[in-house]
Structure 1
Amino acid sequence: MGKTNRRGTKVTFKPDSEVFDTVEFNYDTLAQRLRELAFLNKGLGITVADEKTGKKQTFLYEGGILSFVEHLNKNKTTLHPKPIYISGERDGIAVEVAMQYNDSYSETILSFANNINTREGGSHLAGFKAALTRTTNSYAISSGLLKSPKDSVSGDDIREGLTAVISVKLPNPQFEGQTKTKLGNSEVKGLVESVVNEALGYYFEQNPSVVKKIIEKAIQASRAREAARKARELTRRKGALEDSGLPGKLADCAEKDPQFSEIFIVEGDSAGGSAKQGRDRHTQAILPLKGKILNVEKARFDKMLGSDEIRIMITALGTGIGAEDFDIAKARYHKIVIMTDADVDGAHIRTLLLTFFFRQMPQVIEKGYLYIAQPPLFKVKKGRAERYIQSEGMLENMLFELAVDEMEIRNGNVLVGKAIIPYIKSLSKFERLLEWFTKRKKDTAVIKTLLHYDLSKDLLKNKEDINVLLKKLKEEFPDLSEELREDEEHQSYRIELKRDGLKLTLDDEFLTSPDFRELKNLFSELKGLGHPPYKVKHNKDIHEFGSSRELFDYILSIAKKGISIQRYKGLGEMNPHQLWETTMDPEKRTLLQVSVEDSIKAEEIFSTLMGDNVEPRKEFIAKHALEVRNLDI
């Protein structure tokens, strides 16, 4: 026992497997919720750490929900530099609102009651919307931006491009709705409305230039909405958005019950033709889409309705579109499957379609109706036998199984046949991780040497142990230069190593990083292979290899003998029977269900990838580029 200035209570708990079906914590779900709490409680620091993977994040926001709005808008072009902040307290109920407009065409409003995310809204959200509509129209009329009350713009138009967070804290909250995420306290509506009316009216008086931009945007939205209404009426009269006039491109199914019906949205007429021939006509409908899909992130509603491919898709799905007309209960299919090629164009079209559903039909995702098909990446042929493989990992496993047949590895231990496979899998992961370090200009030769030593965080706290380690490294790498620095945060040292233009920093972060920890675990698993040289007997041939890399390459070459591997890039490369067998047959296929676990993160990703701002997109690509292993262009 010793002295400490730290105070507090530590609570340790584990979920009970008799109560919960799943007792594993999901890091991303926890991180999303804890980040929300940090935003909602300004100045509160929350750290979440996964001891299994070493992943760790700290959330601390001095600006509270104001920082929340800035975070949501960080990849968007805002109409005014600082968010509008409103706070007030009446009758024991605290109200906080932060809001900021951007140049997009969608609204993002998050509401909370007592730190609970009220996804279905409720009285606090209704009060905010009413106040925003009334105050904006009132100011616009009094300042001459609108001529008279009959020219007032609707709440939907005023909220176009708005990002807002509403948080109320109250005693005795009443939650309603199917998932108990709707605030039902009727007194809250009038209270929020009053607080927002007063504060927003004052802000508008003080910031006329900001209000002018907001109202001009709302007027443009109103005109676009009217144009969209006329376009919708026109297409309705032509039957283009009604069930009675299903698009000619659609090959519908015989089944009329949406629970048992599915539609494949297929990239291109060629693949669409194969899918139509290969499908189960009773339950599967096919809708081929030609060319690029409109990026709805950059398009107003009226322009979106002008897109033939979007209009055809809306018609086929049967739900209608827009706040006034959309009805998920009218969905003609309860499985909507996006099926695109496995190349860059296919990925782009898939992203455009996901953007459309996320922005214009989020209920389709919420209901669990949206899926992504997983066509095979490879066809492997040996003699007359053919196999379809969906991923590189599955291909590798199959190759390993072929390779170790009649193989024996001797090195102290004797490994025969399938007993070799676990080691080869570990070796494959090990080499991939080393390749990952190489891409990041890390000295992998030094890293491999470090694996032979018992490295822990405590080593970096002891200068004598550090000097012993450095002496051993210098013996193996005479040209290695080192520099020792103090690491005040961890009360230890940081070792900076340089050799042949490569750098490696040994510090607390590196030693506890998930990648280095996994490398250590794999190295430990590979001890069962022994040390080189490895003597390998395959059939009657005997070979000797001086490194694990040479051994791995040899096994892979043995696996590929006598087989042909075809990598698919396009769905059109498969005939109807192959497409059915691999991608559409419910008994054999793999579908990925689309869900939004973290709406804030999803909002950020769609804004980054599909929005107008180039810089955040370049940063995103640069950050993730090195993680790409195979790029089909």
Structure 2
Amino acid sequence: MTKKTPAKPAKKASKTSYDSSNIKVLKGLEAVKKRPGMYIGDTDDGTGLHHMIFEIVDNSIDEALAGHCDEISVIIHEDSLVTVKDNGRGIPVDFHKEEGMSAAEVILTKLHAGGKFDDNSYKVSGGLHGVGISVVNALSETLDLKIKRDGKVWEQTYKDGAPKNKIKSTGSTKEQGTEIKIIPSKSTFGDNTTFDYDILIKKLRELSFLNSGVSIILKDERVNKTEKFKSTGGLIEFVEYKNKNKTTLNKPFRFLQEAKDGMSIEVALQWNDSYQENIQCFTNNIPQKDGGSHLVGFRTALTRTLNTYMDKEGLLKNEGAAPSGDDAREGITAIISAKLPDPKFSSQTKDKLVSSEIQPIVEKETYKFLTEYLLENPNDAKAIAAKIIDASRAREAARKAREMTRRKGVLDGMGLPGKLADCQEKDPSLSEIYLVEGESAGGSAKQGRNRQNQAILPLKGKILNTQRARIDKVLGSEEIITLITAMGCGVNEEFDIEKLRYHSIIIMTDADVDGSHIRTLLLTFFNRQYKELIDRGYVYIAQPPLYKVKKGKKDIYLKDDSALNDFLLEKISETQILNITKTKKMSPENFKNLLKSYSDFVELTQVPDINIHEDVLRCMVLEDEFPNKPNDKNVSVWLKSLNKKLSSFNSSKNTAKLEEKTKNIIFERYEYGNSIANIVPYSFFKSKSYKLIQSFKEASKDIKPGTSSIIKNEESFLINDLFVSLNTFLEDARKGLNIQRYKGLGEMNPEQLWETTMDPVGRRLVQVKIDDADDANDLFEQLMGDNVESRRDFIEANVNSVGNIDI
């Protein structure tokens, strides 16, 4: 029996003073350092880090919008150092009387300072309205400023937001512009200071489309990679880029209209044969994911214009009702770019434009230009109209299908499917459902589960590919209906998140070709029909083990090949010792790293697409690294040295030479009197495969054949050939072990399935997240759409980056 202790009366607060001394005013940039997320975004997930660069770039774009800049460069250096420079007018350096410092220092150290607050400096601008560059300075460990203006070069350095010295002239120049170098502060971003090339390139490409004529260069010195964007087609090219993997119905078209009070609207659009709309809105280059007044104006005009056209052309005579706005927008890709002097947004994040004055302008101009386009392009107009009428008919068919399924109780959650083994828990937040491949695995899962809160739904075979299926076809699929019924929240127009029966939806399939396909089909379904479930973090992928290792009476479950490899390497490093010399041992950690890098190297030699003989790859390990900036001279020197090693490596059949015209390297070998030549471009030496070779080289650099040795069971073995010795270790590691590879979930008994995959204590789940909806949709379209060429291109582009395909 637990004895209850009576609650003690609260102590009376001491009479400490509460006056003006208790009020803290965060001066200058201290407020930014204290609450960086308010100004720059999340400092943990990379959002805020990359926003630092975008804020600097936005200043350069503002210069371009004002007509003073046409080239912007972003350079990623080593050690989290980034440079952004432009050829604009250069930040002013003259003395600011009010603040008692240079104008440049005011802009970098004072919040809400800059030319954006002066109507004469910038008519329109993006960014954080004057706080951008000062926030970047506040959150930078160091910031180096270089300004070229009025024939002089000016420089100043900042540390943690404070100037280390006064701005001073360091030379003369005929150029103009601003250059800013930053190293993000570790006190703000921790260890998350690595810039992602793909995130930067996506944003810079977007800015290039939105600001045609401006050259934007991204250079990554870490991997010697450079891309240059200079759009001449502007939004037209933006739309074409968005539709690159789709079959389009018409030529893209655009219109640009200047309005009064400095406002302007530019729109580009095109239809494709998909069933989704993709409309992106921007205001002063700032994206609005939630649209706003410019989107409302565009949608209203689009529906009215198209219905008016189809009615006049007699295309709706045999149709029951006029197409809806959703029908008109099915398959549309559109970019709306509004420029306003003083835009108003619904929140600090600027995700929705609420400036009402832009809506009638967008509506009027869209109606005017779209009407002209339809009349001047009759073939395109008919193709668009046919698409819209087809969408309208499909919507009506879907309505009938919904009525039918509603009668069966599918859309309102009445009557659960017979194959569903439901759980006892009624609270969705505590309930989870496993979507299991096949009846066999479903049976084991039903027996092994916790009936209190785990439901099991076995799925028969491969479900419908919903990427290109309208809702009427979706509702005609038996397996999809079963899935929708189990979810309980309806679908499409009937969807109600509050009725969802499980807040953990776990996809559990085999680790083979069919299992991967079923998992992809399910993810496609959730992305198309239940994206909100993904956005809320409700969808997971189970990670059942691929191997069971039996060592004596002990069973060890390992998730995949990598885990098995780590287990074997751990066993070697724990039972053997590597002596670099008679007096120097290699640490167990370094020994394991050596074995891991060699194991990766062995895998590399077995990949057919590498197209380089194993002996050549081994000699590359012994050779100096390929020149970082290759030219005919240094590549020839490298090849000469490599050929020497090949001739002394019992590999006289292999030779290497440079093909100067194509800048490819030809590896030639002779087998059974035949010559076999493999062409390897310079790009191979920047690939993941070559990095594996360099990793093994680095890990084995201290090994000295003929001197280094291995101690095993108190017996010493001299290392004469590095490759032969390491190979022997890997083979010995499997001795005494019974390794079973699971081909499917059905091979596990209920206890094993519970222990490895369903028990919350020890299971591994991967949460499905979508960071960028457009990128996700493009990927699903490539993999699951109808365009075979696009899918082939994707496979060819990514095949070399796949370390191990377990299918």
Taking the TM superposition and a 5 Å limit, the aligned residue runs for 1:402-413 are: 402-412=571-581, 413=584
Partner of 1:272: 442
CA–CA distance in structure 1, aligned partners of residues 575 and 727 of structure 2: 17
> 1:101 touches 1:214 (CA, 8 Å); kept in 2?
yes
Partner of 2:497: 328
Partner of 1:312: 482
Partner of 1:163: 333
> 2:570 touches 2:592 (CA, 8 Å); kept in 1?
yes
Aligned residues: 622
Instruction: Tell me, yes or no, if structure 1 residue 354 matches structure 2 residue 529.
Output: no
Partner of 2:473: 303
Partner of 2:112: none
Unaligned runs of 5+ in 1: 488-493
Alpha-carbon spacing, 1:84–1:320, altered in 2? closer, same or farther (3 Å): farther
> 1:140 touches 1:215 (CA, 8 Å); kept in 2?
yes
Alpha-carbon spacing, 1:528–1:471, altered in 2? closer, same or farther (3 Å): closer
Partner of 1:490: none
* Partner SS, residue 418 of structure 2: coil
Q: CA deviation at 1:414?
A: 3.6
CA–CA distance in structure 2, aligned partners of residues 581 and 469 of structure 1: 54
Alpha-carbon spacing, 1:75–1:411, altered in 2? closer, same or farther (3 Å): same
> 1:241 touches 1:311 (CA, 8 Å); kept in 2?
no
Partner of 1:390: 559
Q: CA deviation at 1:304?
A: 0.7
> 2:442 touches 2:456 (CA, 8 Å); kept in 1?
yes
State which structure, 1 or 2, has the greater radius of gyration over its C-alpha atoms. Answer: 2
* Partner SS, residue 178 of structure 2: coil
Residue deviations 1:243-302 (CA, integer Å, cap 9, x gap)? 332222222223333222222211112212222222222222222211211111222210
Unaligned runs of 5+ in 2: 1-169, 648-653, 670-675
CA–CA distance in structure 2, aligned partners of residues 8 and 455 of structure 1: 38
Instruction: Tell me, yes or no, if structure 1 residue 562 matches structure 2 residue 736.
Output: yes
Taking the TM superposition and a 5 Å limit, the aligned residue runs for 1:151-550 are: 151-176=321-346, 180-322=350-492, 324-412=493-581, 413-415=584-586, 420-433=591-604, 435=606, 439-442=609-612, 445-446=615-616, 448-449=618-619, 452=622, 454-455=624-625, 457=627, 460=630, 463=633, 468-477=637-646, 480=655, 482-483=657-658, 485=660, 496-500=665-669, 501-503=676-678, 515-517=689-691, 519-531=693-705, 535-539=709-713, 543-544=717-718, 546-550=720-724
Alpha-carbon spacing, 1:623–1:517, altered in 2? closer, same or farther (3 Å): closer
* Partner SS, residue 494 of structure 2: coil
Q: CA deviation at 1:16?
A: 2.5
CA–CA distance in structure 1, aligned partners of residues 211 and 629 of structure 2: 38
Residue deviations 1:472-496 (CA, integer Å, cap 9, x gap)? 3444456746347489xxxxxx574
Alpha-carbon spacing, 1:522–1:171, altered in 2? closer, same or farther (3 Å): farther
Partner of 1:147: 317
* Deviates most, 252-261 or 202-211: 252-261
Residue deviations 1:173-232 (CA, integer Å, cap 9, x gap)? 222269541111122222111111111000000112212122222222112111211221
CA–CA distance in structure 1, aligned partners of residues 318 and 513 of structure 2: 52
CA–CA distance in structure 2, aligned partners of residues 319 and 241 of structure 1: 7
Instruction: Tell me, yes or no, if structure 1 residue 604 matches structure 2 residue 774.
Output: no
Partner of 1:86: 255
Residue deviations 1:442-484 (CA, integer Å, cap 9, x gap)? 3664555455555575774684x66654543444456746347
* Partner SS, residue 237 of structure 2: helix
CA–CA distance in structure 2, aligned partners of residues 595 and 15 of structure 1: 27
CA–CA distance in structure 1, aligned partners of residues 620 and 804 of structure 2: 30
CA–CA distance in structure 2, aligned partners of residues 88 and 327 of structure 1: 41
Partner of 2:19: none
* Partner SS, residue 541 of structure 2: strand
Alpha-carbon spacing, 1:434–1:161, altered in 2? closer, same or farther (3 Å): same
Taking the TM superposition and a 5 Å limit, the aligned residue runs for 1:34-183 are: 34-53=204-223, 57-80=227-250, 82-91=251-260, 92-147=262-317, 151-176=321-346, 180-183=350-353
CA–CA distance in structure 2, aligned partners of residues 556 and 45 of structure 1: 53
Residue deviations 1:11-36 (CA, integer Å, cap 9, x gap)? 12233333346434344333332232
CA–CA distance in structure 2, aligned partners of residues 10 and 514 of structure 1: 33
* Partner SS, residue 129 of structure 1: helix
Tell which has more relative contact order, 1 or 2 (C-alpha 8 A, sep 6+).
1
CA–CA distance in structure 2, aligned partners of residues 122 and 316 of structure 1: 36
**One-letter code aligned to 1:153:** P
More helix by share: 1
* Partner SS, residue 357 of structure 2: helix
Q: CA deviation at 1:143?
A: 1.1
> 1:318 touches 1:332 (CA, 8 Å); kept in 2?
yes
* Partner SS, residue 335 of structure 2: strand
**One-letter code aligned to 1:386:** D
Residue deviations 1:381-423 (CA, integer Å, cap 9, x gap)? 1121101111222211111122234323345244476662222
**One-letter code aligned to 1:226:** E
Alpha-carbon spacing, 1:167–1:442, altered in 2? closer, same or farther (3 Å): farther
* Partner SS, residue 14 of structure 1: strand
Residue deviations 1:45-80 (CA, integer Å, cap 9, x gap)? 434444445565444433222222222222222222
Partner of 1:11: 180
Residue deviations 1:68-119 (CA, integer Å, cap 9, x gap)? 2222222222222x21222222132222222222222222222222222211
